[in-house]
C-alpha cells in the first residue's frame, strides 16, 4: 500500500481514503466538515486517468461556496441572517433594514438606513421603455414571465452595470433592482387588471408603496391599514434569503460568467417560478381551492400518499423540522385576518397540517409545512391574485439574491460555475449517410 499525503491534512482533521483498485491511500484535509472535491482528482488508476470525481445529481451533498450571509440548520429548524435569528428580525426589523443587513453584513445605523432607504426610493420609478414593454404583453400573461423579461430588459438600459468589478457601481445596481422589482411586479399586475400604472410614492415606505402601486384607484391617495403593511413587511423579511436554494444558486451560477446583475437576477426569477420552488405558494392555493371542503381532505390525502400528487407547501430539501418561517407566517395570518376577516381556506389548511403532522407517511419522511403553506392565504386576503404570489416571493428574495451575487464576486476562490458530468451516451460511431 502506498500513502500519498495531501498538503494541509498534516495539522488538522483529515480523511484517509484507500483506493481498492490500486491499494493506494490518500489523506485529505477536512475543513469545516468538508473535503475539497478537486483533491479527489489525485486518486487515479494510472497517469492517464482523469482522476476521481463525485457524482451528486441535484447537489444533494455539495457545498458550492463559503458564505457569511445566511445560516440554516434544517434539523433544528433554525434560520439566521448574518447571525440574527429570523424570529427577532421578523419581530423588530423592517424589510429594507434586513436588505441592508444581508448586503453589508451588519445592521445599519440610523443615518445609514435613511440614506439606503432614500437611495432605493429614488430608483423606484420605472423607465418609460419598461411601461411600453409590459403593456405589450397579451393580457393574462403570467406576471412572473413579465417580471423576468422586465428585469432583463432593465439591464439593457444600464449598460454600465456590466462593470461588475466596481463595487460602487454594483451597489447602485443593487439599490435599483431592489426598488424596481416591486415597481415592475405591481405594473405586471396592473397591466393584467387593465388598470393604469401607478407612480411610486416616497412618503409611504417600501411595503406600503408596493400596495399603493398595486391598489391605488381614483383620486384620493391610497391609505393602507398599518397592520396589513406590517404583515407584508414581515412576509418580505421571511423571504429575503435562504442560502443556496435553486434560484440563488442560479443567480450565482449566471453571475459567475460575469453577466450583469439584471441578467443574473432575471435567471433567478426563472428558477423561482417553478412549482417546486417559489411557485409552490400559488400551487398551495390552487390545491386548497380544489379541496374546497373539510370532507374532501381525507380523499385528497390518500391520493398524496399513493403518490398521485404532492401536498404542496410541505417538505423541504433542507428542513427536516418545522420551517421557522411557517410558524411566523401562521401567526401573521391572525393579524391580517383581524383586518380582512378570516380566509375560509385557513380552516382547510390547518386541518391538512394537523392530519399530516400525525400521519405516518409524513412523519416518516419528516415532511413539515414550509414557508409557502400559509403565505398564499395572507396574499389572498390582501387581494393579491393567485398568479402574483410568486412575484411577492421574488420581491422579498431580491436582496438575498443580490447579497449572494455580491459575495460571490468578492470571493477570490470563485470561478465560472461549471459542473462535470458522467457521460453515459453512445461510443464513437461512424456517420453512415
Ligand atoms: N407531499 C407528499 N410527499 C412528499 C412531499 C410532499 N409535499 N415532499 C416530499 N415528499 C416525499 C417524496 O415523495 C419522497 O417520498 P419517497 O421517499 O417515498 O419517494 C420523499 O418525501 C422525499 O422527497 P424528495 O422529492 O426526494 O425531496 P426533495 O428534497 O427532492 O424535495 C421539495 C423537496 C420541496 C421539492 C419537496 O418536498 C416538494 O415537492 N414539496 C412540495 C413543493 C413545495 O412546497 N415547495 C416549496 C419549498 S419551500 C420554498 C422554497 O424554498 O422554494
Any domain includes 220: yes
Cα 314 to averaged position of ligand 1 atoms, centre (Å): 7
Pair 393, 256 in one domain: yes
Give pTM, 2 decimals.
Answer: 0.94
Write down the pLDDT at residue 5. Answer: 53
Any atom of ligand 1 within 6 Å of the Cβ of 252: no
Cα 261 to averaged position of ligand 1 atoms, centre (Å): 30
Closest CA relative to residue 265, chosen from 280, 253, 275: 253
Atom of ligand 1 nearest to the CA of 242: 51
What lies within 8 Å, CB to CB, of 387 at 6+ separation is: 142, 143, 144, 192, 282
Write down the pLDDT at residue 22. Answer: 98
Pair 45, 148 in one domain: no
- Give the domain range for residue 389: 68-411
Any atom of ligand 1 within 6 Å of the Cβ of 395: no
The count of structural domains within the chain is: 2
Any domain includes 94: yes
Write down the pLDDT at residue 6. Answer: 59
Pair 32, 105 in one domain: no
Atom of ligand 1 nearest to the CA of 361: 3
4, containing H or E segment:
strand 3-5
Any domain includes 431: no
Cα 365 to averaged position of ligand 1 atoms, centre (Å): 9
Any domain includes 63: no
Q: What is the pLDDT of residues 149-159, one digit of tens each?
A: 999 999 999 99
DSSP string, 86-102: HHHHHHH--HHHHHHHH
Write down the pLDDT at residue 344. Answer: 87
Pair 105, 37 in one domain: no
Cα 269 to averaged position of ligand 1 atoms, centre (Å): 21
Cα 30 to averaged position of ligand 1 atoms, centre (Å): 31
Write down the pLDDT at residue 2. Answer: 59
Pair 251, 172 in one domain: yes
Query: Measuring CA to CA, how many Å separate 135 from each of 183, 189, 197, 384?
Result: 14, 11, 10, 20
Write down the pLDDT at residue 119. Answer: 98
Any atom of ligand 1 within 6 Å of the Cβ of 310: yes
Any atom of ligand 1 within 6 Å of the Cβ of 263: no
Residue 205 contacts residue 152 (beta carbons within 8 Å): no
Any domain includes 433: no
Any atom of ligand 1 within 6 Å of the Cβ of 406: no
Residue nearest to atom 45 of ligand 1 (CA): 276
At which residue does the C-alpha cell 370532507 appear?
A: 295
Cα 307 to averaged position of ligand 1 atoms, centre (Å): 11
Phi, psi of 181 (to 5 degrees): -60, -35
Pair 301, 354 in one domain: yes
Pair 42, 92 in one domain: no
Any atom of ligand 1 within 6 Å of the Cβ of 352: no
Pair 23, 162 in one domain: no
**Pairing state between β 24-29 and 70-73:** unpaired
Residue 270 contacts residue 148 (beta carbons within 8 Å): yes
Atom of ligand 1 nearest to the CA of 317: 29
Any atom of ligand 1 within 6 Å of the Cβ of 362: no
Pair 148, 281 in one domain: yes
3-state secondary structure of 14: strand
Write down the pLDDT at residue 334. Answer: 86
Residue 45 contacts residue 78 (beta carbons within 8 Å): no
Residue nearest to atom 21 of ligand 1 (CA): 365
Any domain includes 252: yes
Residue 224 contacts residue 212 (beta carbons within 8 Å): yes
Pair 42, 112 in one domain: no
Closest CA relative to residue 296, chosen from 357, 348, 363: 348
Give the residue numbers annotated as catalytic, written as ranges: 277, 316, 372
- The domain that holds 241 is classified in CATH as 1.10.580.10
Pair 30, 94 in one domain: no
At which residue does the C-alpha cell 439591464 appear?
A: 155
CA pair distance 237, 397, nearest whole angstrom: 9
Residue nearest to atom 14 of ligand 1 (CA): 365
Any domain includes 417: no
3-state secondary structure of 70: strand
Any domain includes 305: yes
Q: What is the pLDDT of residues 266-319, one digit of tens each?
A: 999 999 999 999 999 999 999 999 999 999 999 999 999 999 999 999 999 999
pLDDT in tens, the chain (433 residues): 556 655 555 568 999 999 999 999 999 999 999 999 999 999 999 999 999 999 999 999 999 999 999 999 999 999 999 999 999 999 999 999 999 999 999 999 999 999 999 999 999 999 999 999 999 999 999 999 999 999 999 999 999 999 999 999 999 999 999 999 999 999 999 999 999 999 999 999 999 999 999 999 998 999 999 999 999 999 999 999 999 999 999 999 999 999 999 999 999 999 999 999 999 999 999 999 999 999 999 999 999 999 999 999 999 999 999 899 999 998 888 889 999 998 889 999 999 999 999 999 999 999 999 999 999 999 999 999 999 999 999 999 999 999 999 999 999 999 999 999 999 999 999 999 7
Residue nearest to atom 44 of ligand 1 (CA): 313
Atom of ligand 1 nearest to the CA of 365: 21
Any atom of ligand 1 within 6 Å of the Cβ of 224: no
Write down the pLDDT at residue 356. Answer: 95
Any atom of ligand 1 within 6 Å of the Cβ of 376: no
Pair 296, 218 in one domain: yes
Find residue 24's DSSP bridge partners. Answer: 19
Amino acid at each position: 500500500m502506498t500513502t500519498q499525503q495531501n498538503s494541509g491534512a498534516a495539522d488538522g482533521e483529515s480523511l484517509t481514503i484507500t483506493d481498492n483498485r490500486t491499494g493506494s491511500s490518500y489523506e485529505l484535509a477536512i475543513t469545516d466538515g468538508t473535503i475539497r472535491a478537486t483533491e479527489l482528482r489525485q486518486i487515479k488508476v494510472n497517469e492517464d486517468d482523469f482522476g476521481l470525481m463525485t457524482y451528486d445529481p441535484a447537489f444533494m451533498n455539495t457545498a458550492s461556496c463559503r458564505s457569511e450571509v445566511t445560516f440554516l440548520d434544517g434539523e433544528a429548524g433554525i434560520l439566521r441572517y448574518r447571525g440574527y435569528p429570523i424570529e427577532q428580525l421578523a419581530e423588530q426589523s423592517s424589510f429594507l433594514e434586513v436588505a441592508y443587513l444581508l448586503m453589508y453584513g451588519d445592521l445599519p445605523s440610523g443615518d445609514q438606513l435613511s440614506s439606503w432607504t432614500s437611495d432605493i426610493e429614488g430608483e423606484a420609478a420605472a423607465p418609460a421603455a419598461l411601461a411600453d414593454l409590459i403593456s405589450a404583453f397579451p393580457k393574462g400573461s403570467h406576471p412572473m414571465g413579465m417580471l423576468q423579461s422586465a428585469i432583463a430588459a432593465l439591464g439593457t438600459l444600464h449598460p454600465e452595470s456590466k462593470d461588475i468589478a466596481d463595487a460602487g457601481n454594483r451597489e447602485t445596481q443593487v439599490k435599483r433592482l431592489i426598488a424596481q422589482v416591486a415597481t415592475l411586479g405591481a405594473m405586471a399586475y396592473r397591466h393584467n387588471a387593465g388598470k393604469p400604472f401607478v407612480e411610486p410614492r416616497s412618503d409611504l415606505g417600501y411595503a406600503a408603496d408596493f400596495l399603493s402601486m398595486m391598489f391605488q384607484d381614483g383620486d384620493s391617495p391610497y391609505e393602507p391599514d398599518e397592520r396589513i403593511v406590517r404583515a407584508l413587511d414581515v412576509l418580505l423579511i421571511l423571504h429575503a434569503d435562504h442560502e443556496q436554494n435553486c434560484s440563488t444558486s442560479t443567480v450565482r451560477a449566471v453571475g459567475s460568467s460575469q453577466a450583469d446583475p439584471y441578467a443574473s437576477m432575471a435567471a433567478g426569477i426563472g428558477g423561482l417560478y417553478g412549482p417546486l420552488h417559489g411557485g409552490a405558494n400559488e400551487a398551495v392555493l390552487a390545491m386548497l381551492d380544489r379541496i374546497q371542503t373539510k370532507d374532501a381532505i381525507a380523499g385528497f390525502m390518500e391520493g398524496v400518499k399513493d403518490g398521485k400528487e404532492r401536498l404542496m407547501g410541505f417538505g423541504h430539501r433542507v428542513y427536516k423540522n418545522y420551517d421557522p418561517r411557517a410558524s411566523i407566517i401562521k401567526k401573521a395570518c391572525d393579524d391580517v385576518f383581524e383586518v380582512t376577516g378570516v380566509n375560509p381556506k385557513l380552516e382547510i389548511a390547518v386541518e391538512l397540517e394537523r392530519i399530516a403532522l400525525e400521519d405516518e407517511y409524513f412523519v416518516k419522511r419528516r415532511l413539515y409545512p414550509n414557508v409557502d403553506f400559509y403565505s398564499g392565504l395572507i396574499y389572498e386576503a390582501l387581494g393579491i391574485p393567485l398568479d402574483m404570489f410568486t412575484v411577492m416571493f421574488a420581491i422579498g428574495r431580491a436582496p438575498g439574491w443580490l447579497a449572494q451575487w455580491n459575495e460571490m464576486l468578492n470571493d477570490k476562490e470563485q470561478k465560472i460555475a461549471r459542473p462535470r458530468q458522467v457521460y453515459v451516451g453512445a461510443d464513437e460511431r461512424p456517420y453512415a449517410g
